[in-house]
């Protein structure tokens, strides 16, 4: 089955809740965090606008076995194909995330899995 990717949603105007670090789309949720019901305050931060795809992917040139996250890579001499059923792709940095190890949080950018992230 071929993978399909949706475009990363624009995050202009989004903010991050200071209580639970969730990224909030104000067009949907307004000024209240849907998880913890916290109202936006001075400690909450604005989320910077998305970088162009070329800028986002340019830092991902190192093979997985050489990164701090090598524990999920398995044995580098094992060339068998990894079963990626259930894995998801982060819509922020296009990282393939193993939910068994990382759950709903991308280990590279700390983005929580959302409706724009793609499940493999």
Instruction: Count up the domains in the chain and report the number.
Output: 2
- DSSP 3-state of 74: coil
Q: Both tokens of residue 92? A: 């922020």
The pLDDT confidence band at residue 75, using thresholds 50, 70 and 90, is low
Query: How far apart, in whole angstroms, are the C-alpha atoms of residue 31 and residue 73?
Result: 40
- DSSP 3-state of 118: strand
What pLDDT is recorded for position 59? 47
Residue 78 resides in a domain? no
Residue 33 resides in a domain? yes
Domain coverage including residue 114: 83-120
Q: Both tokens of residue 98? A: 């193993």
Residue 50 resides in a domain? yes
What is this structure's pTM?
A: 0.38
Residue 72 resides in a domain? no
Residue 69 resides in a domain? no
Residue 91 resides in a domain? yes
């Amino acid at each position: 089955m071929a993978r399909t990717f949706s475009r990363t949603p624009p995050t202009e105007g989004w903010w991050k809740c200071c209580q639970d670090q969730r990224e909030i789309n104000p067009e949907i949720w307004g000024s209240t965090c849907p998880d913890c019901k916290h109202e936006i305050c001075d400690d909450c931060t604005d989320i910077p606008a998305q970088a162009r795809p070329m800028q986002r992917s340019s830092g991902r040139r190192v093979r997985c076995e050489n990164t701090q996250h090598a524990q999920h890579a398995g044995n580098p001499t094992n060339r068998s194909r990894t079963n990626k059923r259930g894995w998801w792709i982060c819509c922020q940095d296009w990282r393939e995330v193993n939910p068994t190890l990382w759950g709903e949080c991308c280990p590279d950018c700390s983005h929580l899995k959302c409706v724009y992230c793609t499940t493999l």
